[in-house]
Amino acid sequence: MDILEVHVSEPGLVVVDIAAADDQTAFAFHSALASMWATTAVERTRRDPGQPGVRLRCYLDMRQQP
């Protein structure tokens, strides 16, 4: 997955790639981020062939105060 310039076009915008053992862990980490900053919604993880665990990408706006 490519990171587009718009995703990091201003200070405080972040692309977060999460690698976790399972879906539950990945979603729990995303929820922790979402409790502090504005994040994109995520509905599913992905599995990369030959790699352990799951991956999840979200976009985060750290410009607001946690």
Mind listing the pLDDT tens digit for each residue in 27-55?
999 999 999 999 999 999 999 999 999 99
* Mean predicted confidence (pLDDT) in 16-35: 96
Dihedral (C-alpha) 19, 25, 28, 30: value to the nearest 10 degrees? 10
Q: Nearest 5°: phi and psi at 19?
A: -115, 130
Q: What is the pTM of this model?
A: 0.81
Q: How many CB atoms lie within 10 A of CB 21?
A: 10
pLDDT of residue 64: 79
Taking phi first (over 0 means left), then psi (-120 to 50 degrees means alpha), and beta for anything else, what does residue 27 get? Answer: alpha
* pLDDT band at 1; cut points 50, 70, 90: low
Q: Nearest 5°: phi and psi at 43?
A: -115, -25
* pLDDT band at 3; cut points 50, 70, 90: low
